[in-house]
Structure 1
Amino acid sequence: MFGPLASLKILDFSTLLPGPFASLLLADMGAHVLRIESPTRMDLLRVLPPHDQGVSASHAYLNRNKRSLALDLKQPEALEVIRQLLHDHDILLEQFRPGVMERLGLGYEALKAINPRLIYVSITGYGQTGPYKDRAGHDINYLALAGLASHTGRADSGPLPLGMQVADIAGGSLHGVIGLLAAVIARQQTGLGQYLDVSMTDCAFTLNAMSGAGFLACGEEPARENQVLNGGSFYDYYRSRDGRWLSVGSLEPAFMKQLCTALGLEDMAKLALSPQPEHQKKLKDALRIEFEKHDFAELSALFAELDACVEPVLSLGEAVRHPQLQARQVVTQVPRGDGTTQAQIACALKFSEGLPEPRHIGAQLGAHTDEVLRELGFSAERILDLRRAKVVL
């Protein structure tokens, strides 16, 4: 094993998406990630379609490069295993509702007494405090409460379900990894770990970025289609004659000039700089008319030759085949364990020293239970006893 995070050993108690995506990033960068999974309460990601050779494609991707220990945390003997693991696994990631780990005897205060270097990361919908801390939620709810949904979508039809998990990934996963690695750096200075409370709603709120800054400092409330970047200007999607779409982001005058010249709208370019809504509407209407005169392939070929910030809206299949994404090697082949491989999304980070090759797709439940217990010094007889007692699977 090598990679920038090869010195990190992580216990991952999370399921579904936010925690597993975070630990996927860490594992791809060389960290040793051990999933602690319930043998009685399956991670629903394991059964999420579509399936490839009987295995959920999502689970195979999100849990690649990780080992799986099936351990019933409700049984006292399980605590013995966790305590032993904590001697060299000094980072813990969990995604239960507040209080669950404490009730299991696995809260931060209890575990840092075993290992003061422990970095303990909790990812939840609403955080460990506040009136919503025990409330259920999903990505769409976090985006709604964080104010993001109020200024996305169309004015006449409302917010759109995005088809991707913004709060889960940009909120929980990425903020969780940033905070975890910051705690690792702090530990290098102090020798001590710490607790990190990651609220997906809090993190989603920060994604308001420019709109939020404008509101808090100037009182300017963002709304749908009333800003430059949310449909309130020409910066938008335009339909071709054959029903496909292209994106137009020609914000700078040089790019707008190329766009308008290519479509025979030279006199319209100056409207792009106008803050007046009527001018933006006039420009958008003109662009809409011209785009709808041409088929998608024709427009794609036209703008491929120009540096105008106009790009086609591609399907996933088209994106995989696009020369830019192919050059960046965004797809990797991951061993299944039977001599074959599965195509998966590659780690997006490019290190000059390289990263470890993907080792395996997401493991079967408890695939590494015996291996992990042997490493901890458990005898074959003791492992068999734990299996008989259904402590492990």
Structure 2
Amino acid sequence: MLDLTRLLPGPLAGRVLERLGFEVLRVLPPAGDDLARWQPRTHAWLNAGKAAVTLDLKSPRGREELLGLVREAAVLLESNRAGVMERLGLGYPVLREHNPRLVYVRLAGHRDDPAAPGHDLTYLAASGLLDRLAGAWPHAQLADASGALWAALAALEGLRRGGGFYEVYLSEAAGFFGYPPIPGLDGSNPAYRVYPAASGRVALAALEPHLWTRFCEAAGRPDWTAVRGTAADEAVLARELEAFFLSRDAEAWEAWGREHGLPLRAVRPYRAAPLEPPWRRG
């Protein structure tokens, strides 16, 4: 795989594919990668396991060297503004002539304006997801991460089909997190909410009636099963649940939830982990 991308979404897509067994070759401009200067630790994590080569694609020699690499590549991923690769004489129709089975994946911001500049926050705004967050600041690059996964999936789909061109729009990738909207998952349902504990916080997700009944019985409050319906009822219930969870720390509540088969977990601090496929092979 040839990775011509910068910043977060493209390199993350390349990292995903690298963990799936691809040999990833980063194609860098003579000026290098800005992320290496701005965020060296993030850059190192995103690009672990990848090789790199420097090419000046504005020069005839650089373009010829890239075409040589394209002939041996399965996938090319780029995130230039729309039209840049075409102006360099390296658009998909040209590359396809050198490798008919090449999968060409382009990351763009918006379907209605692929050349527009943007970052995660503007993609979240355009997708409508920022509005659904109701004022909460997104402390994660949701559009970038989702776009990276869609780009990796596009690469795999292209390989299955024997080649092709794919353009992945980050604003639409962000919207994937918020569709379709499910009532009660916005914090209005006391059975699906985060509560403070004696120390830390705990997430309760007893959304289905049978899980909510099981939770109420385990808590010794079968009366809670009937306190549902109006906003006023649920406000009272939420206050009672807040008092209930303050009696133990979050880890103790998680152990209690495991004992009773409940969807209840302590809210842990985020720790970046080595990127691995989220499955276990049998």
Q: Given the superposition, is the C-alpha separation of residues 74 and 140 from structure 1 closer, same or farther in structure 2, using an over 3 Å criterion?
A: same
Q: Report the TM-score, using the length of structure 2 for normalisation.
A: 0.91
**CA separation in 1, counterparts of 2:7 and 2:251?**
38
CA distance in 2, matches of 1:351, 1:115: 33
In structure 1, C-alpha distance between the alignment counterparts of 2:213 and 2:245, rounded to whole Å:
16
> 2: CA distance between counterparts of 1:90 and 1:253?
49
Does the 8 Å CA contact 2:109/2:117 hold for their aligned counterparts?
yes
Contact 1:148 1:208 in 2 (8 A): yes
% same residue: 31
Distance verdict in 2 for CA 1:304–1:350, change over 3 Å: closer
Q: CA 1:345 to 1:112, structure 2 compared with 1: closer, same or farther past 3 Å?
A: closer
Name stretches of at least 5 consecutive residues in structure 1 with no aligned partner: 1-9, 50-55, 188-192, 215-226, 321-330, 332-343, 353-393
CA gap 1:297/1:109 in 2 versus in 1, 3 angstroms: closer
Kept in 1, the 8 Å contact 2:251–2:266? The answer is no
Q: Which amino acid is 1:38 matched to?
A: P
| 1:202 corresponds to 2:159 | no
Instruction: Give yes or no for contact 1:233–1:281 (8 Å, CA) kept in 2.
Output: no
CA deviations 1:23-54 (Å, max 9, x no partner) are 111111111211101121x32321344xxxxx
Amino acid of the structure 2 residue aligned with 1:140: L
Counterparts in 2 of 1:246 and 1:48: CA distance versus 1, 3 Å: farther
Summarize the Cα distance change of 1:113–1:298 in structure 2 as closer, same or farther, 3 Å threshold: closer
CA contact (8 A) 1:92 1:121 kept: yes
Q: CA deviation at 1:203?
A: 2.2
Structure whose CA Rg is larger: 1
Greater percentage in helix: 2
307 and 84 in structure 1: CA distance in 2 versus 1, 3 angstrom threshold = same
What is the total number of aligned residue pairs between the two structures?
A: 281
**1:138 aligned to which of 104, 119, 123:** 119
- Do residues 347 (structure 1) and 272 (structure 2) align? no
Larger RCO, structure (CA 8 Å, separation 6 or more) = 1
Hey, what does 1:39 align to over in structure 2? 30
Q: Which amino acid is 1:110 matched to?
A: V
Q: Is structure 2 residue 92 aligned with structure 1 residue 108?
A: yes
Report the CA distance shift for 1:314/1:91 in structure 2 as closer, same or farther (over 3 A): same
Displacement of 1:111 in angstroms is 1.5
Instruction: Check conservation: 1:233, 1:277, Cα contact below 8 A.
Output: no
SS at match of 1:135: coil
| Equivalent residue number for residue 244 of structure 2 | 290
Q: TM-score, normalised by structure 1?
A: 0.66
Query: For residue 309 of structure 1, what is the aligned residue in structure 2?
Result: 263
Q: Compared with structure 1, are the counterparts of its residues 148 and 74 closer, same or farther at alpha carbon in structure 2 (3 Å cutoff)?
A: same
User: Displaced runs of 4+ in structure 1, greater than 6 A?
Assistant: none
- Given the alignment, which residue of 79, 87, 96 partners 2:71? 87
Aligned equivalent of 1:239:
196
Q: Alignment partner of 1:121: what SS?
A: strand
Question: Match for 2:231 among 259, 277, 284?
Answer: 277
Q: Counterpart amino acid of 1:287?
A: L
Change (3 A) 1:88 1:126: same
Question: Structure 1 residues 236, 16: CA separation in 2 closer, same or farther (over 3 Å shift)?
Answer: same
What's the offset of the Cα at 1:297? 4.3
1:266 deviation in Å?
2.1
Instruction: State the distance in 2 between where 1:310 and 1:249 align.
Output: 6
Gaps spanning 5+ residues in structure 2: where? Answer: none
1:224-273 superposed Cα distances (whole Å, 9 cap, x missing partner): xxx3111121111001134x21101011233223333344432012335x
Structure 2 Cα separation of the partners of residues 196 and 303 of structure 1: 44
Which secondary structure state, in structure 2, belongs to the residue aligned with residue 207 of structure 1? helix
Aligned equivalents of 1:61, 1:74: Cα separation in 2: 29
What residue in structure 1 maps to residue 142 of structure 2?
166
Distance 1:177 1:271 in 2: 46
Q: How large is the Cα RMSD of the aligned pairs?
A: 2.1
Which residue of the other structure, out of 147, 150, 169, is the alignment partner of 2:131? Answer: 150
Q: Is 2:27–2:54's contact at 8 Å kept on the other side of the alignment?
A: yes
